[in-house]
Every structure is written in C-alpha cells, then in structure tokens.
Amino acid sequence: MTDPDYAAACAIVRGADSVICTSHLNPDADGIATALALALACERLGKPARVVLPSPAPRLYAFLPGFARVSAVADVAAARRQPPCALLIACDCGDRERLGAAAALPHQRLLNLDHHASNTRFGDLALVDEEACCSGLVAARLLEHLGVPLDRELATLLYATLVYDTGRFLHPNTTAEAFRFAARLAEAGVDIAAVNRALTYTRSPRDLGLLKLALERLTIDAEVPGLAGIALTRAELAALGEPEEWSEIIEIPRSLADNRIAYLVREPLEGAGARISLRSVPPYDVAAVAAAFGGGGHRQAAGATYPGTAAACLAELLPRLRALLADARPAP
C-alpha cells in the first residue's frame, strides 16, 4: 500500500482553472456527496466547478446541498459535447471502466480520489487512502491541505458519505477515526438527525412492493450455514420497476441471525447481464469473489456485473461463496 500523496493532489487542484467532479455508474451517497463537496470547495477557491455523473443521481439524495446542479451524461457522444475542463476528479470509483461515459468528458488531467483497496490507480494521480472509511473522508483530508474550512454545507455532504459507507455505523470500517470525523462534522453544524432521516425514511409504495418481492425470493442456503441471498429476474422486476437505490434490498438477507455472507443478484430492466452485490462479516472477503467476476470493492461490501442471466450467475457465484465460507471458517 502506497501512502496517499495529499500534497501532490493539492497541487493538481490548485493548478487547475476549471474542474468537473464525477463518480461511478449508478452512483451512491459516498460518490455523489463527495463530488458535490469537492465542487463546492473548488468554487470557494475561485475555480468554476461542475458535477457531471455517468448515471442520473437518485432523487432520494435531493436533500444534499447543491443537488440541483448535478447533471448526467447519457453516452460517450453526450460526454464529449460537454465544455472541457482542466481537471476531472473521479470520486469513489475503483477503475476507469466504472466511470462509464464520464471518462469521455473533455479534460486535461484526471485525479482519482478513492478509498477502496481494489482501486486500479488509474489517472494522472491516484489519491487512494485505504485507511479512510469513505471517500468523503479522503475529500475532507484534501480540503484541509487546500485550506478550505468546513462549514454546514460541506459538513452535511461529508456526513452523508460517512453514514452511507459505514452502513449507519454498522460496517467494520466504523473505526475510532470514523467517530472522530463524525464529531468534527457535527461541530461544523451538520444536522445529524435530519441527514439520518433523509437517508433512512425514503420508501415509496413501489419500494415496499419491491421489498415484498425480495422477501418472497429470499433463499437461505441449504448446503452452508450463514449464506443467504435474493435473485430477481428482469421479468419479475418489470411489473414494479427498479428502485433508485438497491442497498436496502441486500439488507434483507444480511439481517438474518447468524448470516455471514449475503448476496443480491438482479437483472436490470435496461441492458443485458446481471448485477451482483455482496456483503459479509469479517473475516470473509467478498471483494475477492467480486474480483473473480471483474468487480471489486471492500472486503465486506463488493459488487460486479455478470454477462449472463441471474440463474447462470448463481450457478457460478454460489459455489464460490460456499467455498469462501468453508475456507475461512475457524477450525473446531
């Protein structure tokens, strides 16, 4: 692991006269709020800044300061028509491919800001801080180097990244540093209760219908204790539509007593293949399993895309998950 070079990242930002901040396909709170925070900070440094994503931002994040300024590029051609920038900052994105069409945004330099150990270190500079619990914390450390003080708007954005990526302080990345970061943000004026409510109480009637479907499709593995998951086909989702955010669905198998690994495999309504989401408790490293399918992420939270159907995906995925549970199980 190479120590993150905050001084070099600071120099790149200071040397840019215009900035675009972006994130990965199907962006989440960590990616979106980090991009918004960096764009706001760049503007306070006198640099024009935009937030352009490769996928539309879910409306459940509309409470974030500056959300109305977020735009999305539908394809590479649309991205190339965007006004050029001196610096493109990729937030919370493990590899260039996950930038989707945003990788084609006209830019001179690319700063890769992330906290995932599986990051491929793409770009002109990879500011990857594996010790950070979220990309928002990497951004906060960069803002310190840039001399941009925290205020209520920035603190709200950064707190959203922290709450999301620690799973509301349930994930193993909930460290003493994470709580110190939360305290700093609270001191800067963030309304903690309001952000927690905005990230939690967001269900629509359709979302409840999806939860009902997911509960009906919940499967507890008959071969290996501690493994459970949900598989949803395109046909099943067609009647309800897809949620803007899938993280709540995988929490269903994860919430089972004695669960060690949870999975969600779903076929998107648009596009081919199946999406894989994996969650685990230590010491089970699901990022290694995701990597076998061309994906990545955290040791306890990872994902990938499979080129075939959900059924074909399960036929390959379940043996790997069962083997992981068997290999990492403590000796009697």
Determine the pLDDT at residue 115: 96
What ranges make up the beta strands (E) of 42-198? 49-53, 71-72, 85-91, 107-114, 125-128
For residue 134, pLDDT over 60 is answered with yes
User: What sign results for the dihedral spanned by CA atoms 184, 18, 134, 138?
Assistant: negative
Segment 140-161 shows an average pLDDT of 98
Greater model confidence, 93 or 204 = 93
Separation CA 11–CA 16 (nearest Å): 9
Q: Residues 282-315: pLDDT tens digits?
A: 999 999 999 999 988 888 889 999 999 999 999 9
What is the chain's mean pLDDT, rounded? 94
| pLDDT for the residue 26 | 87
What is the predicted pLDDT for the residue at 46? Answer: 97
Over residues 47-69, the pLDDT tens digits come to: 999 999 999 999 999 999 999 99
pLDDT for residue 330 is more than 60: no
Q: What is the β-pairing status of strands 296-297 and 261-266? A: unpaired
Both structure tokens of 169:
């302080």
The pLDDT tens digits of the residues spanning 172-212 come to 899 999 999 999 999 999 999 999 999 988 788 888 999 99
Q: Which long-range contacts (CB under 8 A, 24 or more apart) does 315-319 make?
A: 317/263, 317/265, 317/276, 317/289, 317/293, 318/221, 318/227
pLDDT recorded at residue 5? 96
To 5 degrees, how large is the angle CA 289–CA 291–CA 292? 70
**Could you give the CA distance from residue 175 to residue 171 in angstroms, rounded to a whole number?**
9
Stretch among 146-160, 227-241, 318-332 having the lowest mean pLDDT: 318-332
Q: In the chain, what are the domains?
A: 6-200 (3.90.1640.10), 205-328 (3.10.310.30)
Which run of H or of E encompasses 10? helix 6-14
pLDDT at 328: 64
What average pLDDT does this structure show over 266-293?
A: 93
Residue 332: pLDDT band (50, 70, 90) is very low
Query: What is the C-alpha to C-alpha distance for residues 296 and 311, in angstroms, rounded to an integer?
Result: 21
Instruction: Identify the residue whose tokens are 């989707």.
Output: 100
User: In the prediction, which pLDDT does 331 show?
Assistant: 40
pLDDT band of residue 247 (cuts 50, 70, 90) is confident
